[in-house]
Structures are given as structure tokens and as C-alpha cells.
Structure 1
């Protein structure tokens, strides 16, 4: 183990220990029944990447589930509930922004780190939402019961997306991992959204939004989804299907079709599948198998193995492949989760260029309060 890697592990361990026992965000209640609840998390990690030529390591914020703070204000109105939600990422160095030619500041908060500034009204009619928040298709590609999404999931470039593939001659190719491995998940926008009540496990959702946090983007986004969640005896199933359209002010409009499903048995065995397609580009399929167990008294352990295959994502005829293994260990007494993963990425295309495989190791800890 290299000195830099040992140093990274030590720094992550110190950050997790310094958190101490978790302080559960209390809920304060007013005389009228309104409540205020705050929450947050820290997710420091160490990322080591071997691009086939050099190895680089850095302390980063784990974008699979980044460090953040937020709060809810809720007020009942008869049978209905009004809610305001505020949430922001802390703006720490993101694991998907570090690369051979990019080294972001350790702390660089701006308004694009705002995740939710969101109002909603819920009742028997469903939920109506407005403001900066999740589009209907947000997380539609990531239905996952494995317990390891903190360190590995369908968005396989969360750990090292800004790194470039290197050529067999040792040069940077100009092709980032984020170019070769798509997600097509809906994300967050300034939007209006409607969700139906659960109908025997099914929830229908639709939204319309625009980008309000970054200047120079006048694209329009709209989508429709259906989600399903149900237990059948010893089995739990989560699934979703969505279609999302982007009307671009410049360039070609796009339509994304995304689906994912995850099944878990009471024994802890689980499996996940995800598929995405963009009408102007390529498609991918992602699969994961995992197992949850209680090995240690401190908390449950989850382990997974996954595989991603993408077609035509970089260019016509290109093939992107990634596989990974990961583990998440809970420490219940402290609201801490320790995690580690290894992932390998490869790319082939019709350019006549041979690309080196790239591998990434991510280790860290998340403390929730």
C-alpha cells in the first residue's frame, strides 16, 4: 500500500471518528401543530485512480451521496399538509470533478449546490410541488434495494467522472468517463410537479422545469413516470419507468426512456436492473447482485457486484463497460456507514485508438445527523 493511499485512509478514518456520536436532528413543534426538523450528513472519502499510465489519489466528497445540510418546515391544514424544504450540498471537492487535468478547490460553494428550495402541498389528492427540487424522473434509473448505493450504483461515474481514458501510447484521449457512461436520470430543476396518491403500490408523477441555478441555459424539461413499491411475503420490489423530454434552445431535442427495478428477499439476497436510452445517442444496461447480512454486532453489512454495458455513448459503434464490487458496513450506535469499492472501466470504439482500462478505489465514511 502506497504512502499516499495510507494517508488518505487515515484522514478518512479521523474525519469519521471526529464526528462522534450522532446528534439526531430534533423536531420542534409549534402550538398550531407545525414542525421544524433539520438534518445533514458528511461523506468524506479517499479516491485513488489508476488510468493505465499514472496513479492519482485525493481526498474528496463522495458524490454517490454528498455532504449536505437541510431542514423541513411542515404545517397541517385540516387533512392537508404544507411543507417547505431547504437543502444544500456543502460545496466540498466532488469525487466526480477530480481528474488528470482538473483539481477543484476543497471548498467552492455556489448556487448550483442548492438541491432543494421547494414548496409542496399534500393530501388525499396527492402532492403538488413547486420550486428547485426533483423532477418526476429524478432517481427513476436508480431503484436499488442493495444497501450499497452509498458506494456503487447505476451512475457509475459518480466516483471518477472527470478522469480521461488514456491511449495505449500514454496520452490523454480527451474522452472522460462521464462521456462514456451515461445515466439519463432526471435530476433536479426549478419545476412544478404532481404526484398521485399511491394506487395499490403505483404512483404516477409528471413535471415541467427549467434550469434556474445556472445562467445561459434556456432549455425546457418535462417528464412523466410511474413508480411501484410492494411487498409480497418474503419479497420486496421497487421499480420505475419514465420518459423525459428536453426541448433545447440550441441543438437537437432529446427524449430519454429509463427504467429500473430491484428485488430483495428477506434472506438479504437482492438484485437490480436498470436500462436507459436516448433517442439521439446510445443506450445502456446495468445489473447488480447483492447480499445483506449481520456479521458484526455493530450493524448490518451489505455487499454487491455490478456490471454496466453502454453502446454508442461516445460515438457510433463505441462500447463502454464497467464492473465493480463494494461493501457498506453500518455502525448503528454512531449513525455512521463505512464503505469501500473497486471499479474497472473500459472503452472500445471505431477510431483505431486503443484505450487503457481505468480503475478506481473509493473508501470513506458517511455520518448522518
Structure 2
């Protein structure tokens, strides 16, 4: 090639190339420095949900699954020396709009904030809604010594109650919590009544290892065991747990046990020292009854690796102290239990087989059975589920005699009074299919929910409930969910 041609090639031609490189650099995620590594990861989890409450049925399309929400994370780490590392995690999840735990029979769009019997909020009921994603699940930094363990500071999961360790790979469709698929659906009566109570109020509140601002210690792995302890808020929310994972002679074992203790006094927005400073707590908050909530839970999972057969499950219990105390922990204030929340338990057993029969990833077939007892019940004269109230819509907004009162309106629903016992039975079955080449999982699952509700009075507060002999008549709800989680 003549030298003139070579010179031309290195001039005008490469100018376009340099411009393209600059454009790509401008659209590429950058690290703020070269010391800290940066990884971006996450998942998109969307489903189609069909439901039948005994009197109505419908299908909702494209919901986000609260079993394991769509999310993305920024992960950073750097080596200080061969033994010490530092890093951070920022995890953002979807929290607004059409999520499986927020929709109900009348609202396929979901809401921002608490759904029923919580802070009032309008349904979106419109396309191109912008307020959509932005709940901070984790915002924390950490420092770790290979021989001592990791210290995490910031917003993170607390150490505490341990629930099902998912060896079968079915948790994306069959969560250990019962409230995450249809928790905001109203319970129906045998005559078609819509009771002013939701399924989410009668089952566990998905509170295990709740996220809060805290300091958490995680030990190194010692013979398969990992110990965690955390303390959060003003020292009034702490917990500890011990987990294990190992494999012996083709049997994979995982499990753990944990405990947590809460004395965190709730703060109502009505406790305002200055009239125009809405939402600031004032000295009157000291008059609120201090809660005492304790919870513990254990889990055990087994898998025979050669055959793929597995069984897994957990048991958890929550104890509540002090009538008139309504904290936001473990469902204590939903609804407000004027006479105190009854102690509650939940357990779940799942079993099946997971094998790579088709060469694209494990296929898991499973069945499950569990119960949730007294999560919706009160002590003494029981708890009431009001269809309307003249108090402020937020149950934490009004204080009488040192206790929070009030409940949001459930328009047109039938009130239920004096609930002293609740038991929800859940059973289900389904299939998951991993697609390893795409880091994705396809699934289809079914769950049936049935409730037994007992009241202190024969008619549960009124003839409109249809109750006789202290028993509230309820219909089962059937839920089928299918979809995929795509990881990146």
C-alpha cells in the first residue's frame, strides 16, 4: 500500500472510530475510582395471576411477584490487604404499582404504600404512571476479615427468624410466606359478603429478617456453620441466628434457627410539636405503650442429590406483649388489636423432586402444605375489622389513652368484630424449570387458602356476617401464578 494511502487510512477513517468509542464510553457504567470493583446485578420477575374467591374470578397480567421482587443491585468490593476487604451494597426493588401482594378483587393496579387497613392511597388506574420503582432494600457498607467475619452497617436484613432454606429451587413460585401472592384480597363469606379483613391479615406478615437500619455481624463459616447477630434502631430491635449447610454421602443438608426481640415504640404522625411540621414526632410519643414482640423460627431442608428428591420446611412463632401496644413489627398493628395480639405460629412443609431431565436446567415438581394460626386474632374480647371509621385513615395517626386506634376505610365491606382465633390452611403444587443458559426460571404454581375464624360473640358482631355459633363462614380462595424470573 502506498504511504499516502496509509496516511489517509489513519486520518479520516479513524476519526469516525474514535467518535464511536467516545460515544460508547459515554453510555457505559463507570466506577468512581479504580480501587473499588463494581458489579451490577439483579432480576426481572413478572407473572400472570389467576384467582377465584368462590364468587368471583379474574386474571391479572404482567404483575411483579412479591415472592421475589424485580430488583437491581450495585455491589462493590476492594482488597485492603490479603485478609481484609471492604465493600458496599445498594439494592433497589419495585414497590409501587401492580405487585402480587397489593392487588385485590377490585384493584388490579395496586397502590403505593399500605394497601387495605393502612395508609389511604389511590389506585393508579392509568397507563404511563411514573412513580414506579425505588424502594431501598439494602443500602450498606461492610468490612470483612477472613478469620474474624464481616461487619455490615446500614439498611440490611436483621439477624433473626429463619424460614425455609430452598434446596428444591421452588421459592420463586412457592414462597415460605403465605402473604406475598394474594395478601390484599378480601376474605369472602358464604353468602358473598366481602369481609373487612384480608388474607394477609390472617397469615404470617412475611416479617422474618426484617430490613432496617442496623449493625450486623456475620461470622466466617466454621464446619458449615455461620453465626449472625444484629442490633438496630435505638438498640430496641436485635436478633441472632445460626445457619448450617453441608453434604454427606449424597445427602445435602441446610437449616438454621433464629430469635429476635423488639421494643421499638411506634411513632404516629399526630405527635407533632409544631402544627406546621407534619410528621415530626414529639414528646407525646413517650405516652405510647411500649411494645414487646419476640419471635423465633427454625428450618431444615434435605435433598438426596443423586435422585433429586427433597423435603424442606420451617416453623416460626411470634409472641406479643401489652394490650394497647401496636408496633409495626410482625403484623402487631394490622389491624390494631385493642386487647393485645394473640400469640401466633406458622409452619410449612414442601417436598418434591428436582432433576435436569431435559438438559437445559433442573425441573422441579413439588407439593406443599402449611398452616398459619392466630395471626389475625386478638386477646380477651378479640380484634375487630372495621369497614369504616371516623378516625384518621392511618392506624398510627390517632392516640387515645396512650394507645393507637383507628383503621382505614374498606368501602362497602362487612365489619367483623371480636375475632379470637384464626387458622389458615394452605396447600399447593407446581413446577419450575430452570433455563441455565439464560440464567432464568420458568414456573407455574397453584395455592389453595382456607380460613377458620372464631369470634367472641355468636354472630361476630352483626347478622350481616352470616356467623352462627361464634364461627365466621368463609370461602376458600384459589390462586394460580405462572411466569418467569430472568436474572442478570
- TM-score bracket for the superposition, by shorter chain length: 0.7 to 0.9
Which of 190, 198, 213 is the equivalent residue of 1:190?
Answer: 213
CA contact (8 A) 1:93 1:108 kept: no
State the shift of 1:333 in Å. 2.2
How big is the alpha-carbon RMSD for the aligned residues of Structure 1 and Structure 2? 2.3
Give SS of 1:333's match: helix
2:65 corresponds to 1:62 = yes
- Structure 1 gap ranges (5+): 1-24, 211-217
- In the alignment of these two chains, the number of paired residues is 335
Deviates further, 330-339 or 218-227: 218-227
Question: Structure 1 residues 132, 293: CA separation in 2 closer, same or farther (over 3 Å shift)?
Answer: same
2:92 to 84, 88, 93: 88
The C-alpha deviation readout for 1:178-225, integer Å capped at 9, x for no partner, is 111114412211111011111211111111123xxxxxxx99421111
Residue 317 (structure 1) shift: 3.1
- Write the distance in 1 (CA, Å) between the matches of 2:312 and 2:174: 12
Aligned partners of 1:254, 1:188: CA distance in 2, in Å? 16
Structure 1 residue 298: Cα displacement: 2.5
Residues 163 and 313 in structure 2, CA contact (< 8 A), matched pair in contact too? no
1:86-137 Cα offsets, whole Å, 9 max, x none, are: 11013452111111244324764465x1111110111121010001111112
Residue 293 (structure 2) pairs with residue 254 (structure 1) = yes
- Contact 1:219/1:246 (<8 A) preserved: no
Aligned to 1:275: 315
Question: Which of 330, 340, 357 is 2:444 aligned to?
Answer: 340
328-337 vs 146-155, greater mean Cα deviation: 328-337
Q: Which of 314, 328, 332 is residue 376 of structure 2 equivalent to?
A: 314
Shift of 1:293: 1.4
1:127-138 matches, within 5 Å, as 127-137=150-160
Shift of 1:29: 12
Task: Give 5+ residue unaligned stretches, structure 2.
Answer: 1-27, 111-123, 266-287, 321-342, 378-419, 456-470
TM-score, normalization by structure 1: 0.85
- Describe how 1:69-84 pairs up with structure 2 within 5 A: 69-78=72-81, 79-84=83-88
What SS class does the counterpart of residue 238 from structure 1 fall into? strand
CA distance in structure 1 between the partners assigned to 2:30 and 2:435 by the alignment:
23
Q: What are the superposed Cα offsets for residues 234-276 of structure 1, whole Å, 9 maximum, x if unpaired?
A: 0111111111111131453110011111111112111112101
Relative to its length, the structure with more strand (as a share) is 1
Could you tell me how far apart the structure 2 residues matched to 1:83 and 1:99 are?
Answer: 40
Residues 27, 38 of structure 1: 8 Å contact kept: no
TM-score, with length taken from structure 2: 0.65
SS in 2 for 1:272: strand
2:431 is aligned, of 308, 313, 327, to 327
Q: What is the match of residue 240 of structure 1? A: 256
- Aligned-pair distance for 1:320? 1.1
Q: Distance in 2 between matches of 1:46 and 1:189?
A: 31
Q: 1:107 to 1:326 in 2, by over 3 A?
A: farther
